[in-house]
């Protein structure tokens, strides 16, 4: 697929990980990038909305950034994410700091191919699927891959990190 080379897709290619890249028309006026991806891809690809994951950058109480990857429809439990990463508490990271650290823009932050590899926690529901989607590093671009490959390449810990 032309125009889909990003640091995330390059990392997958370099690692020899089988994956597919799916694109959809990104609406610049959209306020919810994850919901936009779900709306565009669930019906087209025959997926459950829980198979499409969002990447959120958080900041732990020691001032370090980390990444939480969870299904788009779910809300993040900052307490659970912090605990999984061995931190006392966490807050959402400043948007500019998240973009600077990862090298991606909001709505296109991928757990893969980040400028600076951050500690990562992935919601344990990921491994209940044979495939999951996450951002490919650009708005309107998603990577479709085996969740075990996502865990391995990010060095993530698996934990239940959704609220409720």
Q: What is the pLDDT of residues 136-152, one digit of tens each?
A: 999 999 999 999 999 99
Q: Percentage of the chain with pLDDT > 70?
A: 98
Question: Which residue matches tokens 């900052």?
Answer: 78
Q: Look at residue 2 in the predicted model and tell me its pLDDT.
A: 45
Query: What interhelical angle do 147-154 and 7-15 show, nearest 10?
Result: 100
Tell me which of 9-13, 27-31, 54-58 is least confident: 27-31
pLDDT at 46 over 80: yes
- Average of per-residue pLDDT values in the chain: 94
Q: Is 136 helix (H, G, I), strand (E, B) or coil?
A: strand
Residue 122: how many other CB atoms lie within 10 Å: 26
Find out whether 126 and 159 touch, Cβ atoms under 8 Å.
no
Q: What would the DSSP string read from start to end of 52-88?
A: BEEEEEEEETTS-EEEEEEETTSPB-HHHHHHHTT-S
Per residue in 52-111, pLDDT (tens digit) is: 999 999 999 999 999 999 999 999 999 999 999 999 999 999 999 999 999 999 989 999
Contacts of 24 (CB under 8 A, 6+ apart): 36, 37, 40, 41, 44, 140, 142
- Calculate the alpha carbon distances from 152 to 29, 37, 41, 115, 155 in Å: 34, 24, 25, 18, 5
pLDDT tier at 133, thresholds 50, 70, 90: very high
pLDDT tier at 3, thresholds 50, 70, 90: low
Handedness of CA 48, 106, 110, 90 (dihedral sign): negative
Distance CA 129, CA 160 (A): 15
pTM for this entry:
0.94
Distance CA 154, CA 164 (A): 26
């Amino acid at each position: 697929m032309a125009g889909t080379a990003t640091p995330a897709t390059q990392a997958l290619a370099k690692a020899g990980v089988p994956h597919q890249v799916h694109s959809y028309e990104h609406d610049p006026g959209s306020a919810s990038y994850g919901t936009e991806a779900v709306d565009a891809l669930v019906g087209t690809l025959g997926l459950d909305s829980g198979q499409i994951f969002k990447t959120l950058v958080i900041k732990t109480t020691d001032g370090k950034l980390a990444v939480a990857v969870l299904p788009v429809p779910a809300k993040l439990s900052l307490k659970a994410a912090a605990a999984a990463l061995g931190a006392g508490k966490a807050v959402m990271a400043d948007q500019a700091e998240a973009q600077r650290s990862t090298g991606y823009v909001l709505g296109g932050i991928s757990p893969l191919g980040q400028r600076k590899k951050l500690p990562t926690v992935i919601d344990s529901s990921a491994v209940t699927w044979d495939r999951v989607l996450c951002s490919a590093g650009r708005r309107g671009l998603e990577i479709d891959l085996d969740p075990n490959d996502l865990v391995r390449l990010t060095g993530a810990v698996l934990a239940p990190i959704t609220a409720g």
